[in-house]
Structure 1
Amino acid sequence: MIDPEAGARSRPPRSGTRTGLCRPGCYAPQLGLVRFFLWFPHSSANKRRRTSLAPIRAALGGTIELDPCTEPDNPNGAERFMCLPDDCAALPWDAEAIFVNPPYAKARERWFNRCFDAATAGARVAPLIPAHTDTRIFHAALAAADAVTLVQGRLKFGIPRQDGRQMAASHGSAIFTWDCDARQLEHLGTTLRR
Structure 2
Amino acid sequence: MFTYDMGNIFKSIGYSYSRPLHWQGKQWLNFREVIAGTGVLSLIDDDTSRFFRDQQQNVPKLLREYGESYGNPENNYLATAGVYLTGLALKNEKLRRTGVLLIASASSGGLLQQVLKSAVGRARPLAGLGKDTFDPFNPSRNFHSFPSGHTMLAFTNAYAIAKKFKRPWIKAGIYSVGLIPGVSRI
Report the TM range for the smaller structure's normalisation: under 0.3
* Higher relative contact order (Cα pairs below 8 Å, separated by 6+ residues): 1
Q: In proportion to residue count, which structure has more helix? A: 2
Q: In proportion to residue count, which structure has more strand? A: 1
TM score, norm. by length of structure 2: 0.26
* Larger Rg over CA atoms: 2
TM score, norm. by length of structure 1: 0.25
